[in-house]
């Protein structure tokens, strides 16, 4: 320990004695606890990510200790008795009793800790003596001697940390103490960390000294406590000594981060630290947020890996830097020598589009001049398809199916028939009907929720339901009613109620009592109210913070998990896990996901995804030409829908095969009617399983009627090809193309749809785009508009099944000879696997994914593929990802304008 404190002393004086510094280290640190400390200590950066407050004591005078974290709002500390302190060379010596405290509650620390369930308290201090006790308060977030969120104190020769959790006392006991002799009258770096799983550690001078569990959550932290230095709020727990640095983080720093801060020294970070959001380099940000989207939208149509006009591929770093036929397009650091700049600056490029705006040109120039930083392997235009407000954080209203399932799970009533009749149907937006921004409300919704609540309650055994939450049947709010409201509310509203809510709902019981009503009537009306409340109708989450991503609360996470996996509310097991803080532990979350995947609701939810992705509801609205398709009827449409869902459940759940196998699995399900339509030998009465290994033309989603009907009566190659491009390969193509009559051209003798498509592709005006998607449908030409199979069309033209597939982002098309080969190519394609990840993820989070999600989705994809690429592995990866575990927060409340 002597070596430790000696090392610390060395650090405290290093600015004045740089030349003696390495000698100290060499003498005392070798073979002991310290991490390597180089002579560049003073230049070592401190950890800035997730910092909440930072005090560096360099003011030199005055009665204010400035918060230097740069995190708003500023949390400055006022020195109550300036005469009790002395500013001294970047430190503050507390010579006699005083309070140094914030003027109001340390809200930014408290809010973050409650949300993150974690905290780091760091201090560079030099105690006046090792005899101070109480413990003497060094850094405290408290209201008095026995009421605190945390306190870092000195209890004679050791440091001691009290932390309030739901498992410790209001006073933060039992405390976590460092080893004896850790506190001495020398400059010392003391760090306390506590993560969301309850692991607490104390580090002294960069080395972990104590590790123990401090169970519970931080959700019970007092909201009104001020941050204090050198004393308790009551003024009777003084600490004397010198402050060099105090910092509070919203998460537990890692071992290496603590070491990094120790290495940075006691006088680091004299300048404000930037927020975590600014952590990536400005050059990388410029590329990712401005340049890549610009190239994707304005350049790649002609200069991606396949088009590569003039030999220039601007989608890949290496290729882009290599340049094209006329030379170097990009010369990093020198826009003036770059052909790209020359072309956009003069307006020569984009060749057949609008000239870049002055602002866009400026960005291109700045980017090249700054070194043309390029942070992705390939610029994928699909990533930038949604760059507007669609990715904002919108509260999610329960969709109609979610509402039905929520009612069923919460109160055991099947309300499906009524809900589907009364509630307005959801509209699809961006491919799915659970897209949050489009889940708006009309008077009809309000009326429906009220009416449905009445119906639900009328069908409930209200007293039996109430007995789950209270044995008492008293109406008095002074007695048991408040507890009953809290217990029932926790269940119905998917998380604990606060006092405001309990009081609000209890008011209903009071009104009933004053009207001479009874307990049953009160409970009935309470349930009605809760069923209409925002916390029932919406998935309410805390979206406030500092503008960065914050962890979601336990109950919020429980709801996210249950709605993603089941489209239903958390069950008792999940709620208990949230109650016990188990959802802060990733391994327990994973165990919950595994359990939930065994529930039949997980299968039904996944089937909802399939129905939405393939827009299966479309089938019931189809009206094909009667003369041409006389056998079409609603029953056949229903059979097609049933086929696809049964096929999916077989492949994804029974066989647990990778999702990409949906494209070539040689099996299907059909009714006798559908089998006949397909030319299969009918069997059984209802939906039967058919092995298709001997039917090469069929096998996989794209050969099913539900998907083939997308092309309309004529099995349009344009529509089918666009579906494969957008829905299966996540490709982009601009529509409609200028210079083209989009009237569909009918087949005729000697002119098949394939030939017509080839003519479009050969046309200079059309080919650039049509070559990207129509060949994707060539392999489907033998399937007519309703999915029937034939080798000649109605005019006697021979139908083909060969073609080629150009996977977005690749340079060369791959040829296929048969429909089956096309299906195998799709099933084996990385791009298809990626698409499945993106589609399922979009459905899971209920919003279109944007460029800012791309990195996380990439990680989800890797994790899912590592797990076999199955639906289960994908859903698990999604739940475990930051898209679900974290939420994007907002800082300031904006004026509402609608």
Partner 1 sequence: MSKTHVSRRTMLKGLGTVTIGLPLLEEMMVLTVAAAEKTVPVRAFNVFFGLGIPAPLQAEGFKDVLQPLESLSDKLLIMRNVDQVRCDEKGINAHYDGAAGAFTAEPPDGEAKSGGPSIDQVIRQAHYPKGLPAGMVPTLIGGTFFRRSRVGRYVHSYNMDGTVAATIQEKPRDLFDRVFGFISVAGGTDARRRRLKRSVLDSVVDQYKFYTGKNSPLGASSKARVAEHLDRIREFEQRAFAMKHKAPNAPKLPPRSDIAHGGKADPGGMGIDITLDELSSEWRLMADLYALAIQMDRVRFGSLTFLAAGERIRLSGDYKYDGKSLWQFDDARQQNASGDKGCSHEWWHKFNEKRKNEALRAHGHMKMREIAYFLHRLDDSESKEANGKTILENSLITISTESGDGRHNNVKRELSGVFHAITSANGRFKTGQIMDVGAEGLDVYNTMLTAMGATDRLGPAKRKMQAVDAIRA
Calpha distance 392→193 (Å, rounded):
33
Calpha distance 666→692 (Å, rounded):
5
Calpha distance 787→688 (Å, rounded):
18
Q: Does 734 bind partner 1 (CB under 8 A)?
A: yes
Q: Does 325 bind partner 1 (CB under 8 A)?
A: no
Q: Does 73 bind partner 1 (CB under 8 A)?
A: no
Q: Does 144 bind partner 1 (CB under 8 A)?
A: no
Binding-site member from 120, 434, 435, 562 for partner 1 (CB under 8 A) = 435
Residue whose CB is less far from partner 1, 18 or 625: 625
Calpha distance 166→177 (Å, rounded):
19
Calpha distance 101→65 (Å, rounded):
9
User: What token pair was written down for 531?
Assistant: 């069923």
* Length in residues, the chain: 898
Calpha distance 66→425 (Å, rounded):
55
Q: How far is the CB of 101 from partner 1 (least distance, A)?
A: 24
Please give the residues from 743 up to 762 whose contact with partner 1 meets the rule CB under 8 A: 743-744, 746
Q: How far is the CB of 499 from partner 1 (least distance, A)?
A: 12
Q: Does 741 bind partner 1 (CB under 8 A)?
A: yes
Q: Which residues 6+ apart lie within 8 Å of 793 measured at CB?
A: 747, 752, 753, 784, 799
Residue whose CB is less far from partner 1, 353 or 749: 353
Q: How many residues bind partner 1 (CB under 8 A)?
A: 94
* CB count in 10 Å sphere of residue 252: 23
Calpha distance 540→556 (Å, rounded):
8
Residue whose CB is less far from partner 1, 17 or 795: 795
Calpha distance 480→509 (Å, rounded):
11
Binding-site member from 31, 388, 750, 796 for partner 1 (CB under 8 A) = 388
Calpha distance 631→35 (Å, rounded):
79
Q: Does 347 bind partner 1 (CB under 8 A)?
A: no
Which residue in the block uniquely carries the two structure tokens 């195998």? 824
Q: How far is the CB of 328 from partner 1 (least distance, A)?
A: 27
Please give the residues from 502 up to 521 whose contact with partner 1 meets the rule CB under 8 A: 504-505, 507-508, 511-512, 515, 517, 521
In this structure, what DSSP letter does residue 370 have?
Answer: T
Residue whose CB is less far from partner 1, 190 or 619: 619
Q: Does 363 bind partner 1 (CB under 8 A)?
A: no
In this structure, what DSSP letter does residue 896 have?
Answer: P
Q: How far is the CB of 760 from partner 1 (least distance, A)?
A: 14
Q: Does 340 bind partner 1 (CB under 8 A)?
A: no
Residue whose CB is less far from partner 1, 472 or 543: 543
Q: Are 519 and 470 in contact (CB under 8 A)?
A: no
Q: Which residues 6+ apart lie within 8 Å of 353 measured at CB?
A: 298
Residue whose CB is less far from partner 1, 64 or 542: 542
Q: How far is the CB of 772 from partner 1 (least distance, A)?
A: 13
Residue whose CB is less far from partner 1, 694 or 896: 896
Q: Which residues 6+ apart lie within 8 Å of 503 measured at CB?
A: 482
Q: How far is the CB of 703 from partner 1 (least distance, A)?
A: 19
Binding-site member from 260, 306, 399, 533 for partner 1 (CB under 8 A) = 533
Q: Does 608 bind partner 1 (CB under 8 A)?
A: no
Q: Does 437 bind partner 1 (CB under 8 A)?
A: yes
Q: How far is the CB of 863 from partner 1 (least distance, A)?
A: 28
Where helices occur in 654-780 by DSSP H, the ranges are 672-678, 705-708, 717-723, 753-762, 764-778
Binding-site member from 238, 306, 390, 753 for partner 1 (CB under 8 A) = 390
Please give the residues from 454 up to 493 whose contact with partner 1 meets the rule CB under 8 A: 454
Strand pairing partners for 121? 192, 248
Q: How far is the CB of 896 from partner 1 (least distance, A)?
A: 5
Q: How far is the CB of 394 from partner 1 (least distance, A)?
A: 5
Q: Does 713 bind partner 1 (CB under 8 A)?
A: yes
Residue whose CB is less far from partner 1, 307 or 889: 889
Residue whose CB is less far from partner 1, 61 or 898: 898
Binding-site member from 104, 371, 424, 749 for partner 1 (CB under 8 A) = 424
DSSP 160-216: EEEE--TTS-TT-PSPEEPPTT---SS-EEEEEEE-TTSEEEEEETTEEEEEEE--S
Stretch of 239-247, 698-706, 738-746, 788-796 contacting partner 1, by CB under 8 A: 738-746
Residue whose CB is less far from partner 1, 442 or 572: 442
* CB count in 10 Å sphere of residue 808: 23
Residue whose CB is less far from partner 1, 87 or 538: 538
Q: Does 355 bind partner 1 (CB under 8 A)?
A: no
Q: Are 244 and 39 in contact (CB under 8 A)?
A: no
Q: Are 509 and 522 in contact (CB under 8 A)?
A: yes
Calpha distance 511→366 (Å, rounded):
67
Q: Does 309 bind partner 1 (CB under 8 A)?
A: no
Binding-site member from 214, 475, 710, 756 for partner 1 (CB under 8 A) = 710
- Going from the C-alpha of 775 to that of each of 391, 603, 717, 778, the distances in angstroms are 32, 34, 8, 5
Q: Does 834 bind partner 1 (CB under 8 A)?
A: no
Q: How far is the CB of 196 from partner 1 (least distance, A)?
A: 19
Calpha distance 785→772 (Å, rounded):
22
Q: Does 540 bind partner 1 (CB under 8 A)?
A: yes
Residue whose CB is less far from partner 1, 26 or 443: 443
Q: Does 389 bind partner 1 (CB under 8 A)?
A: yes
Residue whose CB is less far from partner 1, 257 or 304: 304
Q: Does 594 bind partner 1 (CB under 8 A)?
A: no
Q: Does 38 bind partner 1 (CB under 8 A)?
A: no
Q: Does 440 bind partner 1 (CB under 8 A)?
A: yes
Preceding peptide of 350 cis, ω within 30°? yes
Strand pairing partners for 211? 201
Please give the residues from 609 up to 668 whose contact with partner 1 meets the rule CB under 8 A: 617-618, 620-625, 627-628
In this structure, what DSSP letter does residue 879 have?
Answer: H
């Amino acid at each position: 320990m002597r070596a430790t404190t000696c090392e610390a002393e060395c650090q405290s004086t290093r600015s004045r004695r740089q030349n003696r510094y390495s000698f100290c280290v060499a003498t005392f640190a070798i073979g002991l606890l310290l991490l390597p400390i180089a002579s560049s200590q003073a230049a070592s950066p401190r950890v800035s990510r997730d910092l909440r407050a930072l005090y560096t004591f360099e003011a030199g005078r005055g009665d204010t200790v400035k918060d230097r974290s740069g995190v708003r709002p500023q949390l400055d500390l006022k020195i109550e008795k300036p005469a009790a302190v002395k500013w001294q060379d970047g430190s503050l010596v507390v010579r006699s009793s005083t309070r140094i405290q914030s003027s109001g509650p340390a809200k930014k620390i408290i809010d973050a800790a409650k949300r993150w369930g974690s905290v780091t308290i760091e201090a560079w201090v030099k105690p006046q003596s090792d005899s101070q006790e109480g413990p003497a308060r060094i850094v405290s977030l408290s209201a008095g001697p026995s009421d605190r969120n945390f306190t870092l104190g000195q209890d004679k020769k050791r440091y001691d940390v009290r932390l309030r959790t739901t498992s410790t006392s209001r006073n933060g006991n039992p405390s976590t103490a460092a080893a004896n002799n850790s506190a001495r009258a020398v400059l010392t770096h003391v760090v306390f960390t506590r993560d969301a799983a309850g692991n607490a550690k104390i580090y002294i001078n960069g080395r972990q000294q104590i590790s123990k569990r401090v169970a519970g959550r931080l959700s019970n932290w007092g909201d009104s406590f001020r941050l204090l230095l050198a004393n308790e709020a009551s003024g009777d727990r003084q600490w004397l000594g010198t402050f060099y640095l105090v910092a509070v983080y919203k998460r537990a720093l890692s071992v290496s981060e603590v070491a990094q801060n120790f290495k940075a020294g006691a006088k680091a970070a004299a300048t404000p630290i930037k927020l975590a959001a600014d952590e990536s380099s400005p050059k990388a940000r410029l590329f990712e947020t401005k340049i890549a989207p610009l190239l994707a939208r304005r350049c790649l149509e002609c200069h991606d890996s396949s088009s590569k006009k003039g030999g220039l591929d601007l989608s890949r770093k290496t290729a882009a830097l290599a340049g094209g036929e006329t030379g170097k397009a990009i010369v990093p650091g020198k826009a003036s020598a770059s052909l790209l700049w020359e072309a956009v600056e003069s307006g020569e490029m984009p060749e057949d589009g609008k000239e870049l705006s002055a602002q866009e040109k400026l960005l291109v120039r700045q980017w090249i001049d700054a070194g043309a930083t390029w942070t992705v392997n390939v610029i994928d235009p699909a990533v930038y398809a949604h760059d507007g407000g669609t990715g904002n954080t919108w509260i999610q209203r329960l969709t109609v199916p979610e509402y039905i399932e929520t009612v069923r799970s919460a109160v055991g009533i099947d309300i499906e028939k009524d809900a589907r009749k009364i509630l307005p149907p959801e509209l699809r937006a961006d491919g799915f009907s659970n897209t949050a921004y489009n889940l708006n409300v009309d008077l009809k919704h309000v009326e429906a929720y009220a009416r449905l609540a009445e119906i639900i309650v009328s069908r409930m055994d209200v007293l039996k339901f109430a007995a789950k939450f209270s044995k008492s049947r008293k109406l008095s709010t002074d007695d048991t009613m408040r507890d009953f409201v809290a217990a029932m509310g926790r269940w119905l509203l998917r998380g604990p109620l606060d006092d405001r809510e309990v009081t609000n709902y209890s008011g209903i019981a009071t009104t009933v009592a004053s009207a001479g009503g009874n307990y049953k009537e009160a409970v009935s009306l309470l349930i009605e109210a809760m069923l209409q409340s925002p916390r029932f109708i919406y998935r309410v989450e805390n979206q406030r913070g500092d503008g960065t991503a914050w962890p979601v609360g336990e109950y919020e996470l429980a709801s996210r998990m249950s709605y993603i996996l089941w489209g239903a509310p958390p069950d008792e097991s999940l709620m208990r896990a949230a109650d016990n803080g188990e959802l802060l532990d990733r391994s327990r979350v994973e165990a919950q996901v595994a359990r939930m995947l065994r529930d039949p609701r997980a299968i039904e939810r996944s089937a909802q995804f399939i129905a939405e992705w393939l827009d299966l509801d479309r089938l019931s609205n189809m009206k094909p030409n009667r003369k041409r398709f006389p056998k079409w009827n609603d029953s056949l449409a229903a059979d097609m829908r049933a086929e696809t869902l049964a096929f999916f459940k077989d492949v994804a759940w029974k066989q647990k095969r990778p999702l990409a196998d949906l494209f070539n699995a040689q099996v299907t399900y059909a009714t006798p009617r559908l089998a006949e339509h397909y030319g299969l030998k009918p069997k059984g009465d209802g939906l039967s399983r058919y092995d298709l290994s001997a039917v090469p033309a069929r096998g996989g989603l794209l050969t099913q009627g539900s998907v083939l009907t997308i092309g309309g009566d004529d099995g349009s190659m344009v529509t089918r090809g666009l579906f494969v491009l957008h829905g299966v390969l996540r490709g982009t193509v601009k529509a409609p193309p200028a210079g083209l009559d989009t009237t569909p051209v009918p087949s005729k003798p000697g002119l098949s749809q394939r030939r017509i498509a080839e003519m479009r592709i050969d046309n200079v005006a059309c080919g650039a785009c049509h070559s990207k998607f129509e060949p994707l449908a060539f392999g489907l030409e033998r399937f007519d508009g309703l999915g029937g199979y034939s080798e000649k069309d109605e005019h006697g033209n021979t139908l083909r099944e060969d073609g080629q597939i150009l996977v977005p982002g690749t340079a060369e098309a791959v040829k296929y000879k048969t429909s089956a080969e096309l299906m195998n190519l799709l099933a084996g394609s990385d791009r298809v696997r990626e698409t499945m990840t993106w589609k399922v993820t979009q459905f899971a989070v209920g919003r279109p994914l944007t460029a800012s999600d791309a990195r996380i989705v990439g990680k989800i994809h890797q994790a899912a593929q590592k797990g076999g690429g199955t639906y289960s592995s994908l859903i698990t990866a999604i739940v475990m990802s930051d898209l679900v575990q974290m939420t994007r927060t907002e800082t300031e409340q904006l004026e509402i304008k609608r």
